Amino acid sequence: MISEQEYSVKLAEVRSYLVERVTVLPELGVILGSGLGAFADLVEEKVMIAYKDIPHFPTSTVEGHAGQLVFGKVQGRSVVVMQGRFHYYEGYTMQEVTFPIRVMQVLGVTGLIVTNAAGGINSAFQAGNLVLIKDHLNLMGDNPLRGANLANLGPRFPDLSEGYNLEWRQKAIEIAKELGINPQEGVYVAVSGPNYETPAEIRYLRTIGADMVGMSTVPEVIAANHGGMRVLGISCVTNMAAGILPQKLNHAEVMETAERVGKQFVSFVQALVRAL
Ligand code: HPA
């Protein structure tokens, strides 16, 4: 774990690197999950900066993720889009996974839209559904806020009783209806992965109140809340979780579903950027 001071110095260095290259500083952050990469094409007056070129940034390894920050305008709003995220299962520390959120914070971002691919646990869901995250369970066994608290970034014991902003969720439901998307809501549970869960684990996760399961999002959402951001989270149910249907799970199915609903997902996020 890196020291408090080291982390602050790194953040300040990244901030000045980005401020020199970006014309308008972002107000809203967007994290693109699997299949949503095309959202980046909508960004106007684009400045793209590869993670590998940003000082102190981890680099992305997962298939289907480009690994860059895209700055610019969507629907007149100044945004920073993360095309590709860092997963805990890749071996990054929680501080590394959430480093981009801290970078957003020091650039002045006050709101975050976070998306992901997830396995459906609630049997009312189907592969291809877009589900608004109303709350989460952190079962990753780690926390990005562990260690010395960076008091200039947020409080030691942050409140998470509205980790996913209620007003934004209500607006998102209205927007979904306008777009003909059946608006669902659910509790997202984050596990560390990288294996998909066992059927017994899925029965357990359902019992403790989870509607969908995934391997991301929760660290970023914890850091964003700590940093005082409003958060909206959306899961694309790419598959039903293990043991729910009499079939095996594979990454190809996850990517295919994400691809299939990609267009609808992109329009939804575009409309959200305008409205939130
Ligand atoms: N489990 C965990 N993470 C996932 C899944 C799943 O079934 N589908 C997509 N991401």
DSSP string, 188-240: EEEE--SSPPPHHHHHHHHHTT-SEEESSSHHHHHHHHHTT-EEEEEEEEEEE
Positive or negative, the Cα torsion across 101, 116, 156, 192? Answer: negative
Going by alpha carbons, the residue nearest to atom 7 of ligand 1 is 119
Mean pLDDT of the chain: 93
Q: Helices 218-226 and 99-107, interaxial angle, to 10°?
A: 30
Give the pLDDT confidence score for residue 25 in this predicted structure: 95
pLDDT at 62 over 70: no
The mean-pLDDT minimum among 80-89, 166-175, 217-226, 250-259 falls in: 250-259
Helix (H, G, I), strand (E, B) or coil at 133: strand
Contacts of 11 (CB under 8 A, 6+ apart): 102, 103, 106
User: Ligand 1 within 6 A of 81 CB?
Assistant: no
239 is catalytic: yes
What is the average pLDDT across 102-107?
97
Q: Is 89 a catalytic residue?
A: yes
Pairwise CA distance, residues 134 & 211, whole Å: 10
pLDDT, mean of residues 244-266: 86
Residue closest via CA to ligand 1's atom 6 equals: 119
The answer, yes or no, to whether residue 47 has pLDDT greater than 70, is yes
Angle at 102 between CA 98 and CA 106, to 5 degrees: 170
- The response to whether residue 190 sits with its C-beta less than 6 Å from ligand 1 reads no
- CATH superfamily membership of 4-275: Nucleoside phosphorylase domain (3.40.50.1580)
pLDDT range class, residue 50, cuts 50, 70, 90? very high
Kindly state the average pLDDT of the residues 103-120. 97
Is 215 a catalytic site residue? yes
- Cα atoms in the Cβ-side hemisphere of radius 13 Å centred on 9: 5
The alpha carbon of 99 and the centre of ligand 1 are apart by a number of angstroms equal to 23
Q: Can you read off the two tokens belonging to residue 116?
A: 């992901």
Q: What is the pLDDT of residue 61?
A: 60
| 180: DSSP letter | T
Report the pLDDT value the prediction gives residue 123, as an integer from 0 to 100: 96
Interhelix angle 251-260/262-275, rounded to 10 degrees, is: 60
Peptide bond before residue 194 is cis, with ω within 30 degrees of 0: yes
pLDDT value at residue 114:
98
Q: How close is the Cα of 177 to the center of ligand 1, in Å?
A: 26
The residue-averaged pLDDT of 196-218 equals 98
Tell me how far apart the alpha carbons of residues 251 and 259 are, in angstroms, rounded to a whole number. 12
- Quick check: helix, strand or coil at residue 160? coil
Separation between Cα atoms, residue 224 and residue 79, nearest integer Å:
15
- pLDDT for 212-247, tens place per residue? 999 999 999 999 999 999 999 999 999 999 999 888
Domain boundaries defined on the chain: 4-275
Backbone angles phi, psi at 119, to 5 degrees: -90, 135
Residue nearest to atom 2 of ligand 1 (CA): 214
| Tens-place pLDDT, residues 28-45 | 999 998 878 889 999 999
What is the distance in A from the centroid of ligand 1 to the CA of 197?
A: 8
**Residue 203: predicted pLDDT:** 98
Residue 206 pLDDT greater than 70, yes or no: yes
- Please list the residues that pair with 81 across neighbouring strands: 30, 70
Query: Does the annotation count 34 as an active-site position?
Result: yes
Region of poorest pLDDT, from 46-55, 56-65, 101-110, 171-180: 56-65
Q: Is the pLDDT of residue 71 over 60?
A: yes
Q: Are 61 and 90 in contact (CB under 8 A)?
A: yes
Q: How far is the CA of 23 from the centre of ligand 1 (A)?
A: 37
* Least confident segment among 142-151, 201-210, 246-255: 246-255
Best CA proximity match to 173, nearest among 60, 249, 268, 45: 268
pLDDT of residue 257: 85
Percent of the chain with pLDDT over 90: 80
